[in-house]
Chains A and B, each alone.
Chain A
Amino acid sequence: MNRKKLQKLTDTLTKNCKHFNKFEVNCLIKLFYDLVGGVERQGLVVGLDRNAFRNILHVTFGMTDDMIMDRVFRGFDKDNDGCVNVLEWIHGLSLFLRGSLEEKMKYCFEVFDLNGDGFISKEEMFHMLKNSLLKQPSEEDPDEGIKDLVEITLKKMDHDHDGKLSFADYELAVREDTLLLEAFGPCLPDPKSQMEFEAQVFKDPNEFNDM
């Protein structure tokens, strides 16, 4: 990609992105093309496919839960075309790194609402929490703990007592205790890897001056 094009892309994306400045956008675009492994080919949409993206989530942001990582990919891949393009990359990272609590709540709720029906149901919770407890062979029903944990979570978050979490329920609970933002699994970078990532990507402001 030539300089002019990059400059133009940077300008466009910066205009549409409220959390990053021009330099940061520029860095992230460069990183994106580094990760994709080359410049845009004629006629083809370039982007990170599911596996490549999951790899980044795992290596860079320390995520481990397969299902959650899939959901994060979907969160990034707005147009549902199976790959994250540069626009989606910038937008996603904007939320990842700089998102406000509101943005993050919206995003997390979407991640947790597996079937996208606007509610996090008991089943969805169970699904997301099923690996969260150490299996104890002594117990007759190995899922009992998980079921109990789901009940505990509902008790804590289901304010309208309808047996499922609406966004309103979720929002209320998170505003009460921010720790519940990622209640059903880490879908945002943890502070440490976030700091490392930013330090690495935004490290050289001189490059910006060169442009």
Chain B
Amino acid sequence: MGVALRKLAQWTAAGHGTGILEITPLNEAILKEIIVFVESFIYKHPQEAKFVFVEPLEWNTSLAPSAFESGYVVSETTVKSEEVDTNGQPLLFLSVPQIKIRSFGQLSRLLLIAKTGKLKEAQACVEANRDPIVKILGSDYNTMKENSIALNILGKITRDDDPESEIKMKIAMLLKQLDLHLLNHSLKYISLEISLSPVTVKKDIELLKHFSGKGDQTVLESIEYTSDYEFSNGLFLNGVSKFLKTKGSIYKNLVTFLREKSPKFSENMSKQGISFSEDQQKEKDQLGKAPKKEEAAALCKDISGSDKRSLEKNQINFGRNQMTKRWEPSLNWKTTVNYKGKGSAKEIQEDKHTGKLEKPRPSVSHGRAQLLRKSAEKIEETVSDSSSESEEDEEPPDHRQEASADLPSEYWQIQKLVKYLKGGNQTATVIALCSMRDFNLAQETCQLAIRDVGGLEVLINLLETDEVKCKIGSLKILKEISHNPQIRRNIVDLGGLPIMVNILDSPHKSLKCLAAETIANVAKFKRARRVVRQHGGITKLVALLDCAHDSTKPAQSSLYEARDVEVARCGALALWSCSKSHMNKEAIRKAGGIPLLARLLKTSHENMLIPVVGTLQECASEENYRAAIKAERIIENLVKNLNSENEQLQEHCAMAIYQCAEDKETRDLIRLHGGLKPLASLLNNTDNKERLAAVTGAIWKCSISKENVTKFREYKAIETLVGLLTDQPEEVLVNVVGALGECCQERENRVIVRKCGGIQPLVNLLVGINQALLVNVTKAVGACAVEPESMMIIDRLDGVRLLWSLLKNPHPDVKASAAWALCPCIKNAKDAGEMVRSFVGGLELIVNLLKSDNKEVLASVCAAITNIAKDQENLAVITDHGVVPLLSKLANTNNNKLRHHLAEAISRCCMWGRNRVAFGEHKAVAPLVRYLKSNDTNVHRATAQALYQLSEDADNCITMHENGAVKLLLDMVGSPDQDLQEAAAGCISNIRRLALATEKARYT
């Protein structure tokens, strides 16, 4: 009953609490069903009827005491039932007008007594008792209201088997049945009574337009429908009805929905409140009582029908932030839906829905189903996007060749051949196919000519015949022309991919090969990749990889057969294309692709290795794969193939290593298998920029491990890297600088970088705009600045000013990295204080960065401020800029890194004026005390030092004492960290001294 009442009954907009049930046919029907249930309860379940409710159902009755007869003790204003519970309390107690009833028996009787007033009583009861089940059975039964009921019941029965709980269970089940019955009944009722008619919907639309406001203020960006084509079932309002459904609950009409969901709409409504109610009234007068429920009815139908799936999808859809997408034109619908807004429920109303019917279709519901399916697919597509999507994400519009305008002669010849393809038997078809291949199919004119004369359709149709020769001939052409991006899309649009996927099962290896190769070409964009997956193509392609192994039976007919290795190669080629989508990577893994790829990696055929390593390299973006790559001992072979002669293979191997070397163990494996030397030597060949980018990337990630850096130094790679700091494309620079940043963590390497003249080019790169590059450059410069000699060079080149300017960079990563780099600079520069002051507005800028909401930025800025504040003059300036309140505001964080640097900054900033007191005033002390409970010793040390500084102020000491700092600090005194010990002891001593002084003052 709970569910039915909550979800179905139409409460007035007043909201929950003590809502008022509207008098609608649906509600009436629900109430009638409840009455029937309750009335018959006493006869059907006499045992359960005696059960005493946990809490009485209370409401204001309109029955007079005089209506009660036998079985009741009646006075002027009260009625008591003679039936009592074990404590002697009556089960029905009426004290005009309030009535309390505590059993189903009494409820049944009351309804009998009420006679014509039944409905009214039932309504009052339901309204006043919004959660009847809780009252009847107690709150622990409320938990089992939904689908878990059966389980819970079993659990309860086995737990306690006293007769009362058995009855309770029975009642619970009866109520559940009623609930289901009510839900079913009302659905049936709704679908019977109401159908959405265009007239009424149009009325609602007019109303909506009227009230949604005008101009930019409008909440409904558009509701469009083509009024020329109306259907009795009203489906033209597709956009809007979907709009209504998406929230998963039923609103009785558009107006209610919008009012509930959109503050803007309510506002406009209240502005025009009077005219609205007038209109509404008119509306009602005209249409009787029906209109308000049409939408709800339509929705119920949708929900109860098979559209549940689409409903869920739509919900997902709304959950996603900021999606702007273009819907494909499908056969009969053209729909543009822009999902704008930031996803919060309040902004949903800004979403624009435009449902437009292009031409009348006999079967609208079909078109709609298609639309819904499409939308579902779309969502999946956006979800399945991979970071490594290539350039082809945008689908450019088709360029059809203009008819008759200067067509090349090939066009006419190809047209003739296509004619023979269409009208020829197998023999003529094969001749035409073979002849077509004499054209230069790599040329766009020929590719487009084939398409424009309708050749694609025929070629794809041929794939569905039984003729092996025709299939081979057709695929040979498709394989060539699918190098053209437009043709790829056309092939997908014509449904070519599923057919090719099926051909992968063919017993003829050459067919498998050709199909896989064509798929490899077509699946260069994400929609195609999705289609391949959805038709089970990934599994079949992975199965092709296995071919190379089962060479049990010799090929019988040599005519159309290819070698097993070739089949595997083509499979790998197709998987390589497919592996650019996230979900395909997963599918390949699930189909058992990784061990097969690992096995193929042991071959020495270059044309096999390239697609295999290519696939692995794409997939290595996934954590799962990196683990598997390690487990399958793939690294060893990747390293081996770095030594190959083939540049492409080297590139992909390096790329795969780059992806995998995020993991420490993998980095060690690369070293153990001798991968660092070939990487270092590949650095010397700088002509092939793609390969250079991959190689430098691999070196960067490998040099995260110190042991690897040592090796690189041995191989003189650091010198080479420095040489690559100039005249290289950004993709290479990012990696080179990243690698140097890692190397420069060690002193020895810093010296090398300086001696090779690496500082100047690094500093020069500080003026770039590439975010990734800036992050790496700042890190590298910061690492160099640790060395005083290098710092001098940086200072001379004005590097600190450049770093400081990067604090204004819009990317938080760059800001943070620049601020971190500033720390060693300030620490090691000569006359650092003077230098910092020379940056006009610099101090204000950095203090204001404390308003950032990025934790890393905050931590780095705190660290920079700690260094800045070492200079008294600068500390005075930042104090003027309000550093104290800003730092204090950050105190309530539980990010340990931030805590550490914040405490250090506070500690430093205490050294000026009345800052100590100010920190206390800005309530920074109590949160700092809590830092002592963190599990990070860096935080402990910094905090103890800060508290020690703050404890110079008496009020702070009191705050610390109140917050239990003494006990925590006492523990710290025992720490092996000497700084921590000292700071903690100093702080305790300050607190103690204050206490003693107070005591002394009190007693003297």
Do A and B originate from a single complex? yes
Chain A residues in the interface with B (C-beta under 8 A): 98, 100-101, 104, 128-129, 131-134, 136, 145, 148-149, 152-153, 155-156, 177-186, 190-192, 194-195, 198
Q: Are A156 and B431 in contact (CB under 8 A)?
A: yes
Residue numbers in A under 8 Å from B559 (CB-CB) = 101, 104, 178, 181, 191
Name which residue of chain B comes closest to A185, CB basis.
B427
Which residues of chain B are within 8 angstroms of A185 by Cβ–Cβ distance?
Answer: 427
Determine if A177 and B434 form an interchain contact, defined as CB atoms under 8 angstroms apart: yes
> Beta-carbon contacts of B666-682 to A below 8 Å, as 1s and 0s?
00000000000000000
| Contacting pair B427 A132 (CB below 8 A) | yes
How many chain B residues touch the partner (CB < 8 A)? 31
Nearest B residue (CB) for A136: B423
Q: Are A152 and B557 in contact (CB under 8 A)?
A: no
| Interface residues, chain B, with chain A CB atoms under 8 Å away | 416-417, 419-420, 423-428, 430-435, 437-438, 466-469, 472-473, 507-508, 556-560
A149 to B433, CA, bound (A): 12
Q: List 20 A-B contacts (CB under 8 A).
A: A98-B557, A101-B558, A129-B431, A132-B428, A133-B423, A133-B424, A148-B416, A152-B417, A152-B431, A153-B431, A155-B435, A156-B438, A177-B434, A179-B433, A179-B472, A181-B559, A186-B426, A191-B557, A191-B559, A194-B557
Quote the shortest CB–CB distance from A206 to chain B (angstroms): 20
Q: Are A183 and B431 in contact (CB under 8 A)?
A: yes
Q: Is the CB of B427 within 8 A of A192?
A: no
Contacts of A149 in B (CB 8 A): 420, 424, 428, 431-432
**A129→B558 contact, CB < 8 A:** no
Chain B residues within 8 Å of A195, by CB: 507
B427 to chain A, nearest CB (A): 5
- The closest CB in chain B to the CB of A194 belongs to B557
- Indicate if the CB atoms of A134 and B435 lie closer than 8 Å: no
The reply to whether A132 and B424 contact each other, CB–CB distance below 8 Å, is yes
B426 partner residues in chain A, CB cutoff 8 A: 186
Kindly state the separation between the CA atoms of A111 and B428 in the bound complex, as whole angstroms.
17
B417: chain A residues within 8 A (beta carbon): 152
Contact of B434 among A104, A128, A179, A190 (CB under 8 A): A179
- Are B473 and A133 interface neighbours, CB within 8 A? no
CB distance from B557 to the nearest CB of A (A): 6
Contact (Cβ within 8 A) A100 B431: no
Q: How far does the Cβ of A40 sit from chain B's closest Cβ, in whole Å?
A: 32
Give the secondary structure class of B's interface.
helix
Q: How far is the CA of A128 from the CA of B430 in the complex (A)?
A: 14
Query: In the complex, how many angstroms separate the beta carbon of A9 from the nearest chain B beta carbon?
Result: 25
User: In the bound complex, what is the Cα–Cα distance between A177 and B559 (angstroms)?
Assistant: 11
A133-B424, A156-B438 known; A179-B473 Cβ under 8 A:
yes
Q: Identify the closest chain B residue to A156 (Cβ).
A: B435
Complex interface: chain B residues within 8 A of A132 (CB): 424-425, 427-428
Let me know if B431 and A191 touch, CB within 8 A: no
B508/A183 in contact, CB under 8 A: no
* B430 surroundings in chain A (CB, below 8 A): 179-180, 182-183
A171 to B749: give the CA distance in the assembly, Å.
68
The complex places the Cα of A63 from the Cα of B103 at a distance, in Å, of: 87
Contacts of B437 in A (CB 8 A): 177
Please give the distance in Å from A155's CB to the nearest CB on chain B: 7
Asked whether, in the complex, the Cβ of A183 is within 8 Å of the Cβ of B427, the reply is yes
Instruction: Report how far A180 CA is from B438 CA in the complex, Å.
Output: 13
Contacts of B507 in A (CB 8 A): 191, 195
Within 8 Å CB of A183, what residues of B? 427, 430-431
Q: How far is the CB of A179 from chain B (nearest CB, A)?
A: 5
Contact present for A192 and B468 (CB under 8 Å): yes
Candidate in A132, A192, A194 with the most chain B CB atoms within 10 angstroms? A132
**Contact: A156 with B420, CB < 8 Å?**
no
Q: Nearest-CB distance from B570 to chain A (Å)?
A: 18
Measured CA separation A134–B437 after assembly (Å): 23
Contacts beyond the supplied A129-B428, A179-B430: 19 A-B pairs with Cβ under 8 Å: A104-B559, A132-B424, A148-B416, A152-B431, A152-B432, A153-B435, A155-B438, A156-B434, A156-B438, A177-B437, A179-B434, A179-B472, A180-B430, A180-B431, A180-B434, A183-B430, A186-B427, A191-B560, A192-B468
B427 near A152 with CB under 8 A, answer: no
Judge whether B558 and A133 touch: CB under 8 Å.
no
A153–B472 CA distance with the chains assembled, in angstroms? 18
Task: Give the shortest distance, in Å, between A111 (CB) and chain B (any CB).
Answer: 13
4 closest pairs, A vs B, by CB? A134-B423, A132-B428, A132-B427, A132-B425
Q: Is the CB of B435 within 8 A of A152?
A: yes
Structural contact, B424 and A134, CB atoms closer than 8 A: yes
Cα distance, A100 to B561, chains bound together (Å): 13
Query: Measured between C-beta atoms, what is the minimum distance from B43 to chain A in Å?
Result: 73
Contacts of B428 in A (CB 8 A): 129, 132-133, 149
Closest Cβ of chain A to B220, distance in Å, is 56
Complex Cα gap A191–B419 (Å): 27
- Once A101-B559, A156-B434, A179-B472 are accepted as A-B contacts, the answer to whether A129 and B466 lie under 8 Å apart by CB is no
Q: How far is the CA of A22 from the CA of B468 in the complex (A)?
A: 31
How far apart are B855's CB and chain A's nearest CB, in angstroms? 66
Contacting A191 at CB < 8 Å: which of B432, B435, B438, B468? B468
A100 close to B558 (CB less than 8 A): yes
B474 to chain A, nearest CB (A): 11
A183 to B433, CA, bound (A): 11
Report the separation of the CA atoms of residues A192 and B508 in the bound assembly, to the nearest whole angstrom: 10
| Cβ-defined contact, B427 with A129, below 8 A | yes
Question: From residue B87, how far is it (CB to closest CB) to chain A in Å?
Answer: 87
B356 to chain A, nearest CB (A): 41
Chain B residues closer than 8 Å to A192, beta-carbon distance: 466, 468
On whether A133 and B434 interact (CB within 8 A), knowing A183-B427, A186-B426, A190-B468, the answer reads: no
Min distance, Cβ B413 to any Cβ of chain A, angstroms: 9
C-alpha spacing A98/B419, complex, angstroms: 35
Across-interface contacts of A98 in B (CB, < 8 A): 556-557
Establish whether residues A133 and B433, one from each chain, have CB atoms under 8 Å apart when the complex forms.
no
Query: Taking the nearest CB of chain B, how far is it from the CB of A188, in angstroms?
Result: 9
Q: For B467, list chain A residues within 8 Å (CB).
A: 190
Residue of B nearest to A155 (CB): B435
Bound CA span A98–B558, Å: 9
Please name all residues of chain B whose beta carbon is closer than 8 Å to the beta carbon of A198 when the two chains form the complex. Answer: 556
**Would you call B425 and A131 a contact (CB within 8 A)?**
yes
- Which residues of chain A have C-beta atoms less than 8 A from B434's C-beta? 156, 177, 179-180
B427 touches A184 (CB 8 A): yes
Residues on B with C-beta less than 8 A from A129 are 427-428, 431
Select from chain A the residue with minimum beta-carbon distance to B416.
Answer: A148
Residues on A with beta carbons closer than 8 Å to the beta carbon of B438: 155-156
Q: Do A182 and B558 touch (CB < 8 A)?
A: no
- Kindly report which residue of chain A lies nearest to residue B470, judged by CB atoms: A179
Residue in A136, A149, A195 whose Cβ sees the most chain B Cβ within 10 Å? A149
CA A174 to CA B507, docked complex, whole Å: 23
Alpha-carbon gap, A100 to B555, bound state (A) = 12
Expressed in whole angstroms, the minimum distance between the Cβ of A45 and any Cβ of chain B is 32
Instruction: Write out the residue numbers on chain B whose beta carbons fall within 8 Å of the beta carbon of A134.
Output: 423-424
Docked CA distance A198–B507 (Å):
15
Which residue in chain A gives the minimum CB-CB distance to B419? A145
Q: In the assembled complex, how far is the CB of residue A164 from the closest CB belonging to chain B, in whole angstroms?
A: 16
Q: Which residue of B lies closest to A125 (CB)?
A: B431
Per the bound structure, the CA–CA distance linking A183 and B507 in Å amounts to: 23
Once bound together, how far apart are the Cα atoms of A17 and B424, in whole Å? 38
Contact partners of A131 in chain B: CB under 8 A: 425
Q: Which residues of B contact A148 (CB under 8 A)?
A: 416
B420–chain A nearest beta-carbon distance, Å: 6
| Residues of B with C-beta under 8 A to A156 | 431, 434-435, 438
In the assembled complex, how far is the CB of residue B344 from the closest CB belonging to chain A, in whole angstroms? 61
Report the Cα distance A185→B428, complex, angstroms. 9
User: Nearest Cβ in chain A — how far from B652, in angstroms?
Assistant: 33
Give A100 to B432 CA distance when docked, in angstroms. Answer: 25
Distance A102 CA – B417 CA, assembled complex (angstroms): 29
Least CB distance from A174 to B in Å reads: 10
Which residues of chain B have C-beta atoms less than 8 A from A191's C-beta?
Answer: 468, 507-508, 557, 559-560
In the bound complex, residues from chain B placing their C-beta under 8 Å from that of A179 are 430, 433-434, 469, 472-473
Find the A residue at minimum CB distance from B469.
A179
Distance of A198 Cα from B553 Cα, bound (Å): 15
